[in-house]
Structure 1
Amino acid sequence: MPTTARARDTAAAQVFRGVTEAAIEAAARAQGIALDAAQRAAVPRMLRPARRHVYLHGPAGRGKTWLMDAAFAAAPTARKRRIHFHDFFPELHAAIFRHRHDLNAALDELLRSPDGDGHVELLCFDEFHVHDVADGVLIRRLLAALAARPVAMAVTSNYAPEQLLRHPLFHATFEPAIAEIRDRFDVIVVDGPRDHRAHASHDRGFAAGAWVTGAAPGRSGDGVVLRVAERDVTARALSEHELHATFDDLCSEPLSAREYAALARLRSQWLITAVPPLESLAAAPAQRLANLVDVAADRGVRVEFHAAGEPTALADAPHPPLDLARTLSRLGSLRRVVAS
């Protein structure tokens, strides 16, 4: 990196300017959370990094997202945006198309601050990942474009930078981007021994849902067609508070994270019935289930799954989804119920 760029990054190193360790501890106490040793060690490095950006990585359920979200909430600026990576990429592709493949024009649109006056100073990505070579090419361009802008980034990931785009045929093409991440981000490991989702309270959000094994509920329907994200999606029913769909409605059809996010905006409580034995799933439905779980967890959707078997059986599918550990961690946070 040129000296001038290094100096600029150092000058902008306060990713979470104005956030104190005391504010993070207070947020934890307010939610009844006891930070483990790995989280406590990460806090000062996250708040006072040597570089402009921070990259938190570690196994699923270790509290990376919670740390980032607590700091994001406490950051004393309105010019900030927090987004799940599943949501950002469809937005980015659509904006690039609108601006005739001009990445900088697309970023001008996406990074405009909520008040409409200027651009965001703080950008937080949850669950950063690179599995696809085409996405890898775009992410390389994205990192270079963001480096030229006065924006600080915080990223959470289940992968160390060197583990991104692990496919042996394509990994070398992403190594320049990995070098950029190592150069521009403080890379912080959060790898405590405990999966906190396994001990989550069940009073709010995704963890308030349930995984029910046994008899299916009595409600059914012929189907209702919902128009979401410019696509027709069939569900069993839509009540005032709840969306009812079968597994086939949501995971056997070619839906993406974009459609799941639109459904999350439509209703914050879902009933998903007729979930087959997960060890029997083909690759595409298994991956859609993982994407659905990611979106529902990020959006705080309360989901009640009615299933033929256990969620852990997903690991025995012929082609388990990418980010399997994260999916199992999130499904493990649900209440377990055996229908009588």
Structure 2
Amino acid sequence: MLYHGPMAVYNELIGQGSLKEDDFQRTIIETLQDLHDRLMKYNPEPIVRDGKVAPEKERGFFSKLSKVFNKKEEERLAKEAEVARRAAIPKGLYLYGSVGTGKTMLMDLFYSSLERTDKKRVHFHNFMLQLHGRLHKLKTTTHQHEDPIPFLADSLAMESRILCLDEFQVTDIADAMLLRRLLEELVVVRGVVLVTTSNRHPTELYKNGIQRESFLPGIGVLEENCIVKCLDGGIDYRREKKTFFHSAKPKDRSKLASSSTMPTIVQDSSTILPDTLVDEKRFFWPLGPDTKKEIEMYFKSIRNGFQVTERRMNFLGRELVLPHTAGPIAMCSFDELCAKSLSAADYLTLAESFKVLILTGIPKLKPTTLHRNETRRLITLIDALYESQVKLICSADGPISEIFGGGSGAHSIDEDPSTMGQLTPAQRQMMDDLGLNDVSQVKKSPIFSGEEEKFAVQRAESRLIEMQGPGWGM
């Protein structure tokens, strides 16, 4: 019997040696296989555009009279129908756990093996950027005097009834306020099935966040409509040099979890990059004349005949000047990309524009003090490059384990113990920007406590290590 779905693909990858047998991962694959089978039988009701319902046919006098007398019966039947409708919606999956355990790989394996056209896979960062953009357009154009959320939910549900979100996290109050309603409108009302990965259990999302109580209904939707599973096998595969795997992107099923089968040449409609050696060095340190020379020689060796030119890129009305580009390759300094006020949207555009980025001059950062903004930007840049599978070459002041102040968002060794627990000038400025007054409450927020940075730093370190692996970006 022909067997379809993620379990068959997973077993094939195990048999090929592309993946190692992992009991934790196999448990998740079993859950995904069950979801796959249920989704293949799922036929949700069509979405009517712009929240409008089909007009009711004109009824005769006696039909209308009967409707009045049978109102309670109709209400009872309507409630039963609604219960049945909700019961028919397959529960999605909320997969959380430590960095590097294979959450993204498993979700993408599921996505690629699901033979439905009404599906969508997107990184959570990208998803929220798109949501805010579309919401702004609704508020300022077609639905200026109406609640825009139902219309936004309609358009999203018409695009996809199975939504896969990678790296679900809520750290921003604007995201929290939008998601608290949108999750219910999408999942409960319109029957969108959600499959998502995260570093946190749903109850830990937006922990200690400003006005968190307003976000709690969104957490309830996740817990009630998703099977919550933890993937914590204690292994960070990105740090296992012999077991690197690529996140399986929907656009390229041939790369499912395998680095050994990666082609050595990237071919686009107009550009070709040179071969990548398995033992190629991609992270150069410490900073100094020798490392600078190595980086320059590397850039020269991979230009493949392209001339070095300046390139100007426009991001939402802002201009970024890239002084050294050569075809699909860009070489930029840390200060040019991370010391300036660039956003996730800027980095996503950059990642979509180049196949190789050489990032020079990365210092040892102190995430909780001097370099908080720069650290966040570097993490966001790494996420964007990772998501687009851009080849990254770096020069830094130390090894990966020392870039983020000793790793895992730890406090820097040069912080003054006498000031620990006090807000920095930058944090006080952020309080002013948000209109906050209660310091005792604000200090508990992950925005200020560094709690969220710990997850982000761990993920960034893990991804940087994986991006040094053979075949990455090719």
Common fold: TM-score over 0.5? yes
Contact preservation (8 Å) 1:209, 1:303: no
Match of 2:184 among 135, 139, 144: 144
Equivalent residue, structure 2, for 1:227: 314
From 299, 316, 332, the equivalent of 2:465 is: 332
Q: With structure 2 as the length reference, what TM-score do the two structures score?
A: 0.60
Between the two proteins, the alignment pairs up a number of residues equal to: 312
1:196 aligns with 2:218: no
Aligned equivalents of 2:15 and 2:211: distance in 1? Answer: 44
* AA at the equivalent of 1:128: F
Q: What is residue 150 of structure 2 aligned with on the other side? A: 104
For residues 229 and 268 of structure 1, what CA distance do their matches in structure 2 show?
Answer: 22
The one-letter amino acid paired with 1:332 is I
Residue 325 of structure 1 aligns with an amino acid whose one-letter code is Q
- 2-side partners of 1:229 and 1:239: how far apart? 24
Partner of 2:332: 245
Matched, 1:270 2:309: no
* Superposition deviation, residue 30 in structure 1: 5.2
1:70–1:108 distance in 2 versus 1, CA, 3 Å:
same
Instruction: Look up the SS of the partner of 1:236 in the other structure.
Output: strand
Specify the alignment match of 2:10 in structure 1. Answer: 24
Question: Of 42, 55, 58, which aligns to 2:97?
Answer: 58
Q: 1:58 to 1:238 in 2, by over 3 A?
A: same
Cα shift at 1:253: 1.1
1:210-266 alpha-carbon deviations (Å, 9 max, x no partner) = 221132233799964222454311223121120111111111111111111111111
Pairs within 5 Å for 1:152-301? 152-167=193-208, 170-199=211-240, 200=244, 210-214=282-286, 215-216=291-292, 217-218=295-296, 224-279=311-366, 282-301=371-390
1:288-311 residue CA offsets vs partner (Å, 9 max, x unmatched): 111111111111011101111122
Q: Is the 8 A contact 1:290 1:321 kept in 2?
A: no
Name the amino acid aligned to 2:229. Answer: I
* Alpha-carbon distance between aligned partners in 2 of 1:251 and 1:92, rounded to the nearest angstrom: 25
The correspondence of residues 13-92 of structure 1 with structure 2, limited to 5 A, is 19-29=5-15, 32-49=18-35, 51-92=90-131
- Contact 1:241/1:269, CA 8 A, preserved across alignment: yes
- Sequence identity (%): 26
Letter matched to residue 329 of structure 2: E
Structure 1: distance between partners of 2:153 and 2:17: 35
Aligned to 2:175: 135
Structure 2 gap segments, 5+ residues each? 39-89, 140-146, 246-258, 267-277, 301-307, 413-449, 470-474
Give yes or no for contact 1:272–1:304 (8 Å, CA) kept in 2.
Answer: yes
Q: Retained in 1: the 8 A contact 2:199–2:455?
A: no
1:6 aligns with none
Q: Which amino acid aligns with 1:159?
A: R
Q: Is residue 278–residue 310 contact of structure 1 (8 Å, CA) maintained in 2?
A: no
Cα distance, 1:151 vs structure 2: 2.1
Q: Please tell me whether Structure 1 or Structure 2 has the larger radius of gyration of its CA atoms.
A: 2
More strand by share: 1
Q: 1:20 and 1:260, CA in 2 relative to 1: closer, same or farther beyond 3 A? A: closer
Distance apart, 1:94 and its partner CA? 0.6
Deviation of 1:134 after TM superposition, in Å, equals: 2.4
Contact 1:286 1:321 in 2 (8 A): no
RMSD, matched Cα: 2.8
Quote the Cα distance in structure 1 between the aligned partners of 2:353 and 2:391.
Answer: 13
Where does structure 1 lack aligned partners over 5 or more consecutive residues? 1-17, 113-118
Q: Say if 1:168 and 1:250 are closer, same or farther in 2 by CA, change over 3 A.
A: closer
CA shift, 1:332, in A, is 2.3
CA contact (8 A) 1:282 1:317 kept: no
Deviation of residue 170 (structure 1)? 3.9
Counterpart check, 1:95 vs 2:134:
yes
Residues 157, 192 of structure 2: 8 Å contact kept? no
What is the alpha-carbon distance in structure 2 between the residues aligned to residue 133 and residue 209 of structure 1?
A: 41
Structure 1 residue 64 displacement after superposition: 0.6
Q: Which residue of 1 aligns with 2:251?
A: none
Superposition deviation, residue 136 in structure 1:
1.1
For 1:31 and 1:156, the matched residues in 2 are separated by: 25
SS of aligned partner of 2:215? helix
SS in 1 for 2:394: strand
Contact 2:92 2:227 (8 Å CA) reproduced: yes
User: Structure 2: how far apart are the matches of 1:210 and 1:293?
Assistant: 14
- Taking structure 1 as reference, are residues 222 and 48 closer, same or farther at Cα in structure 2, changes over 3 Å only? closer
